[in-house]
Amino acid sequence: MSDERKIRILVAKPGLDGHDRGAKVIASAFRDAGFEVIYTGLHQTPEMIVNAAVQEDVDVVAMSVLSGAHMTLFPRVKELLDESGADHVLLTGGGIIPEDDVAALEERGIGRLFGPGTPTTAAIEYVREWFAAQNTA
Amino acid sequence: MTPVEPLDTTTAELLERFRDGKIPGLARAISVVEGERSGFQSLLHTVMAGGPQAKRVGVTGPPGAGKSSLVAAAATSYRERDERVGVVAVDPTSPYSGGALLGDRIRMNDIAMDPGIFIRSMATRGSLGGLATTTKEVVDLMDGFGFPRVLIETVGVGQTELEITAAADTVVVVLVPESGDAIQAMKAGLMEIADIFVVNKADRPGSARLVKELRQALHLRAGSALKDIPAHHGVDLGQAMKKERTTDAPATEPEGWSVPVLTTNALTNDGVDKLLRTIDEHRSWLEESGQLEVRRRDRAEGRIRDVVNRELMRIAWRRDEVVDLLREGVEEIAGGEETPYSVARRIVEVLLR
Ligand SMILES: Nc1nc2c(ncn2[C@@H]2O[C@H](COP(=O)(O)OP(=O)(O)OP(=O)(O)O)[C@@H](O)[C@H]2O)c(=O)[nH]1
Ligand SMILES: [Mg+2]
């Protein structure tokens, strides 16, 4: 118990597009930050993402959405997480998402979303701070 | 039964969810055990009270041999027989960052949504045996949750990661032509731990040769390679090897199980049914020969030792007095007054007082 608790994070790549370079980059960055990263590959449905998040008992789900479907995918995953009793899980992610949409999604209980230019360190810091706040509260 | 520690309310609630068959309850119980969070011992104590029930199959072998793909293929077949399957898949923790990239689920997407399958990824967290420190405990949880079959995938092993025998009833060693020849398998100690050998990627060149080499190596080990050579001829190795090449029957282990060498293609499922049948045969053998009981006793003994060792360490290093002696000792050693041995002696004496 002297060890601090590891942050477990699911990096998920929903949708039909065949590019997961971004997801892999962020997955390795999280690993190098000391997180335990579960990566499940391409073409994940919201149901698959939430199923894995529950079984793996992750603290965070990070989705990479480049397809433009962020306004449906993020709320859907959030909804399924809540239904599965995993409302304590932080849902965050990144992709090409306009500022207005980011704000709208945040209002629906989704965590911060990061644009394509953001350095991975910003996402790492965000997750760390969120996690620390959870565990002191 | 001797109680372990009183159940705190959080653990009691968790146990209730676990006992109600709630998947999030199992998932959280695993996290509690994996992180050795408070209450983990009473949790395991309660869950394990019924004794082991599940058939535990370990899958080990070098990186990329196709362990995850085979686990997925096997799980699919078990589901066709209506058997619920728990899967524990271990991947390495990076020694540099302490983080891990757990990617075994990538090969299991086709089965992941089946409610009769539960998959959990674990990072080794510094443990060197090919499993995480608490993988055996996680298998116990899946067993206690009611999975009649648990598949355990080790990290991609090199030469010393043989912990799997402590977790599984049946150990399947997966090799591929690219992973080297039978001599390398022998050096790695895989001959000793394998109950079943699988040469996967049978679609690749070299697999037939590897199968043959493995069979020869198993015969050598079983001591049968030389047995038909008349003694007064001395041991003519050339002749022994010639003889060997004609032998295709499985080599017999001293305890009576013949380690078979099978071939599979995990992508097309070729050979997977045969593998499952062989796992069943091994199971029957374990039960009929009494080896299952032997293995379970060995495991129980190992577990008691583990728990005592860990508990003693925790007790020792939690004591301020001991930590003070350690710090002082380091200074005294630097000053040439003591050695690590004399300091350790002092610490042990304090602990035994
Ligand atoms: N050609 C061929 N490729 C296979 C076969 N089985 C697995 N593969 C491929 O081999 C690669 C590694 O397979 P995995 O199942 O991830 O291997 P693994 O042993 O679990 O790998 P680690 O967990 O990383 O050690 C993947 O690209 C698979 O698609 C097979 O029978 N034939
Ligand atoms: Mg694997």
Q: What is the mean pLDDT of chain B?
A: 89
Q: Is B111 part of any domain?
A: yes
**Whether residue B165 sits in one domain with residue B40:** no
Q: Give me the mean pLDDT over the A40-59 stretch.
A: 96
Residue A38 has pLDDT above 50, yes or no: yes
Residue B253 has pLDDT above 80, yes or no: no
**Whether residue B95 sits in one domain with residue B43:** no
Q: Is B297 part of any domain?
A: no
Predicted-complex ipTM score: 0.95
**Whether residue B248 sits in one domain with residue B284:** yes
| Cα end-to-end span (Å), chain A | 19
- Helix (H) / strand (E) element for B33: namely helix B23-34
Q: Is A3 part of any domain?
A: no
**Is residue B107 lining ligand 1, measured as CB closer than 6 Å?**
yes
The answer to whether residues B249 and B290 touch, using CB atoms and an 8 Å cutoff, is no
- Which residues on B lie below 8 Å from A37 (Cβ)? 99-102
Q: Is A32 part of any domain?
A: yes
The candidate with the shortest Cα–Cα distance to A54, out of A15, A92, A87, A28, is: A87
**Is residue B201 lining ligand 1, measured as CB closer than 6 Å?**
yes
Using a CB–CB cutoff of 8 Å, tell me whether B120 touches chain A.
yes
Interface contact flag, A57 B30, Cβ < 8 Å: yes
Report the C-alpha gap between B189 and B41 in whole angstroms.
33
- Better-predicted residue by pLDDT, A78 or B220: A78
Task: Look up the domain containing A110 and give its range.
Answer: 8-134
Q: Which of B68, B94, B154, B207 to mutate to test the pocket of ligand 1 (most atoms within 8 A of CB)?
A: B68
pLDDT band per the 50, 70, 90 thresholds, residue B247: very low
**Is residue B63 lining ligand 1, measured as CB closer than 6 Å?**
yes
pLDDT band per the 50, 70, 90 thresholds, residue A85: very high
**Residue B89 pairs with which residues in a beta bridge?**
B121, B153
pLDDT reported for residue B246: 41
Using a CB–CB cutoff of 8 Å, tell me whether B17 touches chain A.
no
The answer to whether residues B196 and B230 touch, using CB atoms and an 8 Å cutoff, is no
Q: What is the mean pLDDT of chain A?
A: 92
User: What contacts 24+ positions apart, CB below 8 Å, involve B344-347?
Assistant: B347/B316, B347/B322
Tens digits of per-residue pLDDT, B281-304? 999 999 999 999 999 999 999 999
Q: Which value, to the nearest 10 degrees, does the dihedral of the CA atoms of residues B42, B47, B50, B54 take?
A: -140
Report the C-alpha gap between B297 and B51 in whole angstroms.
11
Residue A97 CB partners (closer than 8 Å, separation 6+): A65, A70, A105, A113, A115
Residue B159 has pLDDT above 80, yes or no: no
Provide the number of structural domains found in chain A: 1
pLDDT reported for residue B250: 55
Task: Look up the domain containing B88 and give its range.
Answer: 51-289
Low-confidence winner among A54-68, B144-158, B184-198, B308-322 (lowest mean pLDDT) = B184-198
The answer to whether residues B123 and B90 touch, using CB atoms and an 8 Å cutoff, is yes
Interface contact flag, B36 A40, Cβ < 8 Å: no
pLDDT band per the 50, 70, 90 thresholds, residue B251: low
Interface contact flag, A32 B97, Cβ < 8 Å: yes
**Is residue B69 lining ligand 1, measured as CB closer than 6 Å?**
yes
CATH number at residue A41: 3.40.50.280
Residue B94 has pLDDT above 60, yes or no: yes
Residue A86 CA, chain-centre distance (Å), reads: 13
What's at B108, amino acid-wise?
M
Using a CB–CB cutoff of 8 Å, tell me whether B322 touches chain A.
no
**Whether residue B249 sits in one domain with residue B210:** yes
The answer to whether residues B263 and B184 touch, using CB atoms and an 8 Å cutoff, is no
Instruction: Reduce the DSSP state of residue A126 to 3 states and report it.
Output: helix
pLDDT reported for residue B236: 46
Q: Is B311 part of any domain?
A: no
Query: What is the nearest CA distance from B347 to chain A, expressed in angstroms?
Result: 21
Provide the number of structural domains found in chain B: 3
Q: Which atom of ligand 1 is nearest to the CA of B70?
A: 15
CATH number at residue B98: 3.40.50.300
